[in-house]
């Protein structure tokens, strides 16, 4: 599979099967994230992998209401944070910890896609609540929670507004709008 085929095949669907994931598969997701490049090689990403029933309940309790009905089926939640104290801050004040984290999350999501899994990132969660629920380091800024699982054909648990979305054509700006040539 080419990288463009992998990217085109990735879709953040919400229909997830209630089925545990293999530990080796989960380990590959961590490895994909670990191999990400970062500014000054600071590697500011930190991940909390939550697979226990008790831990998953705690994550779901921190999600926005719109995410709860579909995400609660996910066998794995990845709470992805950037560690501010590991930022590469440039002399002009530019900071890169969130940029680096974003790239590592994308690598994790692509590794999940290659394994045939759904990996949907969510900004819809209460950051303070998740920080408290898992005792995150005060230097860690949680940016997304990624719901990971096997895709499901069954969409009966989804609100009507979410069903069939995975089959719709991808919505993206045309390349002319995002690329300028000189």
Nearer to ligand FMN, 41 or 161 (CB): 161
Complex with ligand FMN: residue 21 or 145, whichever CB lies closer: 145
Q: Is 6 in the site for ligand FMN (CB under 6 A)?
A: no
Q: In b/e form, how buried is each residue of 82-116, taking b as 16+ CB within 10 angstroms? A: bbbebbbeeeeeeebbbebbbbbbbbbbbbbbebe
Q: Which of 40, 90, 123, 164 binds ligand FMN (CB under 6 A)?
A: 123
Q: Binding string, 56-95, against ligand FMN, x = CB under 6 A? A: -----------x----------------------------
Mask: binding to ligand FMN, 125-144, rule CB under 6 A, as x and -? Answer: -------------------x
N residues, the chain? 182
Name the closest residue to ligand FMN (Cβ): 124
Q: Which stretch binds ligand FMN (CB under 6 A): 20-28, 35-43, 44-52, 116-124?
A: 116-124
User: For ligand FMN, which stretch binds (CB under 6 A), given 26-34, 40-48, 122-130, 131-139?
Assistant: 122-130
Residue placing its CB nearer to ligand FMN in the complex, 67 or 107: 67
Closest CB 91 distance from ligand FMN, rounded Å:
28
In three state form, how does the secondary structure of the chain look? Answer: CCHHHHHHHCCCCCCECCCCCCHHHHHHHHHHHHCCCCHHHCCCEEEEEECCHHHHHHHHHHECCCCHHHHCCCCEEEEEEEEHHHCCCCCCCCCCHHHHHHHHHHHHHHHHHHCCCEEEEECCECHHHHHHHHCCCCCEEEEEEEEEECECCCCCCCCHHHCCHHHCCCCCCCHHHHCCCC
How many residues of this chain bind ligand FMN (CB under 6 A)?
A: 10
Q: Which residues bind ligand FMN (CB under 6 A)?
A: 11-12, 67, 120-124, 144, 170
């Amino acid at each position: 599979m080419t990288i463009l085929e992998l990217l085109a095949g990735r879709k953040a669907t919400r229909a997830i099967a209630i089925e545990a994931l293999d530990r080796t598969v989960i380990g590959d997701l961590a490895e994909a994230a670990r191999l990400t490049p970062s500014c000054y090689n600071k590697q500011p990403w930190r991940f909390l992998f939550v697979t226990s029933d008790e831990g998953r309940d705690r994550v779901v309790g921190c999600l926005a209401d719109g995410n709860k009905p579909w995400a609660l089926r996910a066998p794995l939640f990845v709470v992805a944070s950037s560690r501010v104290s590991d930022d590469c801050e440039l002399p002009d004040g530019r900071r890169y910890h969130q940029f680096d984290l974003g790239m590592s999350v994308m690598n994790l999501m692509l590794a999940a896609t290659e394994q045939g899994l759904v990996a949907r990132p969510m900004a819809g969660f209460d950051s303070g609540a998740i920080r408290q629920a898992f005792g995150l380091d005060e230097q860690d800024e949680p940016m997304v929670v990624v719901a990971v699982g096997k895709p499901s054909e069954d969409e009966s648990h989804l609100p009507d507004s979410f069903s069939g979305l995975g089959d719709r054509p991808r919505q993206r700006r045309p390349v002319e709008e995002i690329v300028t040539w000189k």
